Amino acid sequence: MSKQTNRKLVVGISSRALFNLEKENQIFEDMGLKEYKKYQLEHENEELEKGPGFPLIEALLKMDEKLDDFDVEVMIISRNDPQTGLRVFNSIEYYGLNITRAAFTGGEPATQYLKAYNIDLFLSRSRDDVQDAINMGFAAGLLYDHQNDSYDYQIDQIRIAFDGDSVIFSDEAEKVYQEQGLCEFHRSEKEKENIPLQEGPFCQVLKKLSLIKEQETREQQYIRIAIVTARSCPAHKRPIITLRKWNALVDEIFYMGGLTKKEVLKQFNPHIFFDDQDKHLREASEYVPSVWVPYCNKKQ
């Protein structure tokens, strides 16, 4: 069966998110661009270590090999110049990643090319680039440091965990909680329990992942999706009604009701976890790769 071009997920990732370039970045910060370029050229044939986004990218590319009616493409979106970018491609070849496209912008903002490459999801280690991408209407996230030596992931099934409000869903309900408190939030959500929430920045990503899940069988589950939300009863119904309207397929949902998310995430063991709250991400990033999702024009 041939793949349809409209059934495609395009992930753009920065070189510093895919590979561990913290040492090299520190050289750039401390000694400037000239020394950074010199170091990269001198170490051009040394493979880079895996970065926080590597587990997800490796698993996505592995999954793409198995899909008949959907495409997954990964490309590098980097502020490196073509010369220093060669080390990135050498490392891609070393790890056997099927990444053939890249944009090396030579220090210019990388986000200006997201539309040109039809990017659905952009992952970076640059807070400014991520905020710019969100403001432009792209699903984007900032990868936190993740150096858990005991973290072990599988590549035969992708596991992705999302927060709900301000990530999958809009921030409309979150605003009620922030401005009027928990009691009013619960009252409002109970009153609107049959009214679907508006789309958040990662809604379209979830919908595309759901197209992949439609191909699954009992014997073959390509991807497992969980929502880990601070909501609890009586604010539990509206997310389900919303997902049902979107035809979005989710395998698990955890209503934490104020409890820490890290233990659930540790057990679920996702390749990546998306949330908009720093307090949740700092705890989770001790165990699993974690991504901060800013809301449009929201500063943290």
Q: Which residues are catalytic?
A: 163
DSSP state of 295: P
User: What is the rounded distance in angstroms from the CA atom of residue 260 to the CA atom of residue 275?
Assistant: 13
**8-13/121-124 β-pairing:** parallel
Residue 290 and residue 275 in contact, taking contact as beta carbons nearer than 8 Å: yes
**How far apart (Å, rounded) are the C-alpha atoms in residues 32 and 25?**
10
In which element (H, E) is residue 180 found? Answer: helix 172-180
CA angle (187 as vertex; 181, 188 as ends), nearest 5: 85
Q: How far apart are alpha carbons 182 and 205 in whole angstroms?
A: 29
Per-residue burial over 266-284, b = 16 or more CB atoms within 10 Å of its CB, e = otherwise:
bebebbbbbbbbeebbebb
